[in-house]
Amino acid sequence: MATISDLRAAISQIVGGILYPAGVPAGTTAASPVAGCPVRVFQGWPERQAIDADMAAGIADISAYIKPGSTNTSRYPVVEVPISITAPTLVWSVTGQTATLSGEVSTRQNVGLLVDHRAYIYAVQPADTLASVASVLAEMIEAVQPASAAGAVVTIPGSRSIVGRAGGVGTTIREVGREKVIAQIEIWASSEAQRNLIGGAVEPRLRDLRRLPLADQSIAVIWLAQVYDTDELAKSGIYRRTIALNAEYASTVTSTASQVLSFAETVMRTTGDPGVHGSPVITLDL
């Protein structure tokens, strides 16, 4: 689910990627190819002692934080949206009055048999095998009509029709609210030239950014609000630039849902009447 922390983390990652296009090295001791000096990118407001130490060591700092205060902008209906689904790894082969299960047994999938228009569905468990899945389904069917299992083969001797299906389990996301906040990116540099170099790389890229993907696959909308310099700590060798962003993000909840096993039968009409043209096809959900 997306939270204000996910928004802050995504902004920090974008800034880090601007300054270290090949990836931010562990410990951030290597110079940024863009800034020409090491740059430490982090979340939250820094401590003055840490800033002083980094400035003395020739390390620039960039902090990302969310200003206090927000606006509830929720306005969309709650809708479950699928974002991923695991494909089933099992498959049925039906011949006459037998159904044979094959494939790789894995969890987060369902298998089912439609026997004489009655559905029998089973959720595969971690310890299952092809034979155990077939056995369970045979037991379900046997409660209604004769059925047996031998290995991965289910036999229903009195059946008139058998249809086999397998389905995966998907992940859905639903938006439960929306919030507008102000995110601030603070550049802390040891000189005006260093501040201008880093700010010149970061500001245009953030201005050009409109849609920001978050960890849960939702999208935050951002647009630049203001940019300004603060030189009150220049005598201490600290030159600061603030880049403020308006950001609207969705608060979301993710959940899992089983894929619907659709059982259908196709009926084709045939006729010997030369006056009737075509053979209409009818699909029935059973």
Residue 229 and residue 114 share a domain: no
**187-201 pLDDT, tens per residue?**
999 999 999 999 999
Residues 6+ apart with CB under 8 A from 240: 186, 187, 188, 189, 195, 229, 230, 231, 233
What's this model's pTM, rounded to 2 decimal places?
0.70
Residue 183 and residue 165 share a domain: no
Q: Is residue 242 part of a domain?
A: yes
Q: Is residue 266 part of a domain?
A: yes
Cα separation, 36 vs 34, whole angstroms:
6
Residue 181 and residue 164 share a domain: no
What's the confidence (pLDDT) of residue 27? 57
Residue 63 and residue 103 share a domain: no
Residue 62 and residue 96 share a domain: no
Q: Is residue 53 part of a domain?
A: yes
Structural domain boundaries, residue 21: 4-68+177-247
Taking 50 as the pLDDT cut, the residues of the chain under it are: 264-285
- Domain total for the chain? 2
Residue 273 and residue 200 share a domain: no
Q: Do the beta carbons of residue 260 and residue 204 sit within 8 Å?
A: no
Q: Is residue 141 part of a domain?
A: yes
What's the confidence (pLDDT) of residue 266? 40
Tokens 């006459």 sit at which residue? 96
What's the confidence (pLDDT) of residue 237? 87
Q: Is residue 236 part of a domain?
A: yes
Q: Is residue 60 part of a domain?
A: yes
Cα separation, 231 vs 240, whole angstroms:
6
Instruction: Give the length of the chain.
Output: 286
What's the confidence (pLDDT) of residue 274? 44
Residue 156 and residue 90 share a domain: yes
What's the confidence (pLDDT) of residue 112? 94
Residue 102 and residue 224 share a domain: no
Residue 135 and residue 64 share a domain: no
Q: Decide: residue 206, CB within 10 A, 0-12 exposed, 13-18 middle, 19+ buried.
A: buried
Cα separation, 172 vs 79, whole angstroms:
9
Residue 274 and residue 153 share a domain: yes
What's the confidence (pLDDT) of residue 198? 96
Q: Is residue 138 part of a domain?
A: yes
- CATH assignment at residue 204: 3.30.70
Q: Is residue 237 part of a domain?
A: yes
Residue 166 and residue 86 share a domain: yes
Structure tokens given for 153: 């083969």
Residue 106 and residue 227 share a domain: no
